[in-house]
Structure 1
Amino acid sequence: MAVGPAPQQDGLSRPRIVGVVLVHNEDVFVERAVRNAAPFCDHILLMDHGSTDATVPILKRLAKDLPSAEFHRLSHPRESHRLIAGLAGQDTWIFAVDGDEIYDTAGLLRLRERINAGEFARTWMILGNVLNVTTLAQDFRSASGHLAPPCRSMTKLYNFAAISSWDGDAPERLHGGEVVFRPGFSNSDRRMLHDEVPWEESDFRCLHMCFLSRSSKESADAATRENIMEKYGNSWQRVIRTLRRWVGLPVTNWKDSRYRRGPEVTVSTTAFFPLES
């Protein structure tokens, strides 16, 4: 991957932000996910692995429309990590976006200003506020779901200036493998923004469409769709999936166990969807 020089601001270099979009059959929300994230990024990698719906044509069109974007067709999700591993040690933030993750663009731009100002220079990972969406209004003006907190935050924004390498067996970008930190940094250097500010005040907030259909080829109930790490993870995970299928249980309970916690709330989503949506 060819990533240009660090961007400049007032004659001084500022951190580069590289977006990494990895998807499989995500044609329902992927265009909005990419367009909302793109203004935050200096460069954005659009990567597909095996989609059979309209995802690939959408990504190819976005790669033409967005000057910072490039498209890659992958034979295995692990290739997504190989494309960014060489950025370790550089003044670069890696922002991973899935096809069911829609961010507040205005909030991301405020977060970008904070990153440029050095607020997170000693931070390895930033975790943001999330609504795990169970229902989206037909007019896209509101959504219901479960907030993080109390759910876990699944946002993925990593400071690659904090590490010297991220190698080994990584089933997909930013998962698995072995991270080697530079002196003065560790895995505990995290900013839990979702614990610092409520949803309404957050600069880093995401609509996680995990309980909705993400593909035109998928049923309305997407709750049992497998997570990449379940599908490509370690042997014990594969054994558990096989046993659950054999006894007639859903293959995965990943979403329910992690993303359906606390009360269901309803929030405005006007910041996430332009009026033309």
Structure 2
Amino acid sequence: MVGRLPLWRPRKKGSFWAVTLVKNEIDIIELSVRHFVDQGAERVLVADNGSTDGTLELLRRLAEELPIIVIEDRLTAYHQGEKMSFLARAAWRGGADWVVPFDADELWYAPAGTLRGHLAASPSSIIDANIFNAYPIDGEPGPYRVDTVRHDFTQCCFRSHPVARLANGNHTVNVLGRKSNEINMLHIPWRSKEQMRMKVTQGWAAIEATGAEVGFDGHWGEMSEAKESAIDEIWASIALGVETELDFGYKARGSLARIEPSTWTHWPDDFPAESTS
């Protein structure tokens, strides 16, 4: 990692830092960074992994007006767990009480009030975020259609710790203590067909650079072998609702609810979540 990391500061009770690793996310990174600032983040720590689409330059401009720390990750290989763990420990050193590890395509919401207020009042040490996948309408950004059945996996946020170690995907962390899962997250993985194609290509290239076998991450392996016709078919299912057996790991499993997340300050009480059973 290259760049100026925060100096050591005593823990600021009730604060949280959001930390992320990004590459070529210029279409959504400003939305997610501003979202976490609006939710009360003390700092947003971003490591850019060699973006070529202007993401790094945009982040540097945003850092002039927002509490963002931008550094560069020049290691091509995936190693996400190790890199995110490094960022989480940097947040601890900077005085964070809580750490929220996120991807650029994620918007996290508390059940009421801001994320900062919810974390500050929580008795837990780890909170798992329930994931709801969102899809663009007619291939355009926001509003979105959201799957009312939550994703199989969750992602975690946690009280900062000097030796916190995150797993790949930010699904688990080695911090001990009480665990809960009242936070929800909108996940917007696919925003355009070109963005999907780029994500498939760069994601698998990063995994291959580790020397890992295809089994390293199942849906990335599936995506790496996809032909252009498969990308066309999956995008048609997302943008137009065309039925397909193809998946890439984010296929809707329930009914779709139209939402406008830019109007949300917290997860709405009337969101029509369905049972996974």
Q: Report if the CA contact (8 A) 1:20-1:94 is conserved.
A: yes
**In the TM superposition, what is the alpha-carbon distance from 1:63 to its structure 2 partner?**
1.4
Matched, 1:208 2:183: no
Partner Cα separation in structure 2 for residue 160 and residue 254 of structure 1: 39
Which stretch has the larger CA shift, 47-56 or 152-161? 152-161
Which stretch has the larger CA shift, 240-249 or 134-143? 240-249
Q: Residue by residue, what CA displacement relative to the aligned partner does 1:198-249 show, whole Å, maximum 9, x if unpaired?
A: xxxxxx4433211223xxxx61655973695994375352597678756959
So what's the TM-score if we normalise by structure 1?
0.65
Partner Cα separation in structure 2 for residue 255 and residue 91 of structure 1: 37
**In the TM superposition, what is the alpha-carbon distance from 1:34 to its structure 2 partner?**
0.3
Equivalent position SS for 2:57: helix
Change (3 A) 1:243 1:20: closer
Q: Which residue of 1 aligns with 2:47?
A: 47
- In structure 1, runs of 5+ residues without a counterpart are 8-13, 194-203
Partner Cα separation in structure 1 for residue 19 and residue 157 of structure 2: 10
Q: Report if the CA contact (8 A) 1:47-1:73 is conserved.
A: yes
Partner Cα separation in structure 2 for residue 222 and residue 145 of structure 1: 21
Q: Which residue of 2 aligns with 1:15?
A: 14
Change (3 A) 1:6 1:99: same
Q: What letter matches 2:36 in structure 1? A: A
Q: Which residue of 2 aligns with 1:200?
A: none
Q: What letter matches 1:191 in structure 2? A: S
Q: Report if the CA contact (8 A) 1:81-1:174 is conserved.
A: no
Q: What letter matches 1:165 in structure 2? A: V
Partner Cα separation in structure 2 for residue 70 and residue 272 of structure 1: 25
Equivalent position SS for 1:116: helix
Change (3 A) 1:30 1:226: same
Q: Residue by residue, what CA displacement relative to the aligned partner does 1:91-128 show, whole Å, maximum 9, x if unpaired?
A: 72111222212345x968533223223x3x23322324
Equivalent position SS for 1:266: strand
Q: Residue by residue, what CA displacement relative to the aligned partner does 1:153-193 show, whole Å, maximum 9, x if unpaired?
A: 544422235xx7335xx6868468x82x44xx2xxx43222
Change (3 A) 1:235 1:33: same
Change (3 A) 1:257 1:50: same
Q: What letter matches 2:186 in structure 1? A: L
Q: What letter matches 2:163 in structure 1? A: S
Residue 225 of structure 1: which of 189, 200, 205 is its match? 200
**In the TM superposition, what is the alpha-carbon distance from 1:31 to its structure 2 partner?**
0.4
Listed as ranges, the matches of 1:27-42 within 5 Å are: 27-39=26-38, 40-42=40-42
Matched, 1:260 2:236: no
**In the TM superposition, what is the alpha-carbon distance from 1:132 to its structure 2 partner?**
1.5
**In the TM superposition, what is the alpha-carbon distance from 1:50 to its structure 2 partner?**
1.4
So what's the TM-score if we normalise by structure 2?
0.65
Matched, 1:113 2:117: yes
- In structure 2, runs of 5+ residues without a counterpart are 235-244, 266-277
Aligned residues: 236
Matched, 1:237 2:215: yes
Q: Report if the CA contact (8 A) 1:211-1:222 is conserved.
A: no
**In the TM superposition, what is the alpha-carbon distance from 1:2 to its structure 2 partner?**
2.0
Change (3 A) 1:48 1:269: same
Change (3 A) 1:58 1:109: farther
Change (3 A) 1:138 1:114: same
**In the TM superposition, what is the alpha-carbon distance from 1:44 to its structure 2 partner?**
1.5
Partner Cα separation in structure 1 for residue 71 and residue 226 of structure 2: 38
Q: Report if the CA contact (8 A) 2:146-2:257 is conserved.
A: yes
Partner Cα separation in structure 2 for residue 272 and residue 137 of structure 1: 22
**In the TM superposition, what is the alpha-carbon distance from 1:84 to its structure 2 partner?**
2.3
**In the TM superposition, what is the alpha-carbon distance from 1:133 to its structure 2 partner?**
1.8
Q: Report if the CA contact (8 A) 1:15-1:93 is conserved.
A: yes
Q: RMSD value over aligned CA atoms? A: 4.2
Q: Report if the CA contact (8 A) 2:136-2:142 is conserved.
A: no
Q: Report if the CA contact (8 A) 1:223-1:256 is conserved.
A: no
Residue 92 of structure 1: which of 89, 97, 109 is its match? 97
Partner Cα separation in structure 1 for residue 104 and residue 140 of structure 2: 20
Q: Report if the CA contact (8 A) 2:127-2:156 is conserved.
A: yes
Partner Cα separation in structure 1 for residue 105 and residue 63 of structure 2: 18
Q: Report if the CA contact (8 A) 1:124-1:160 is conserved.
A: no
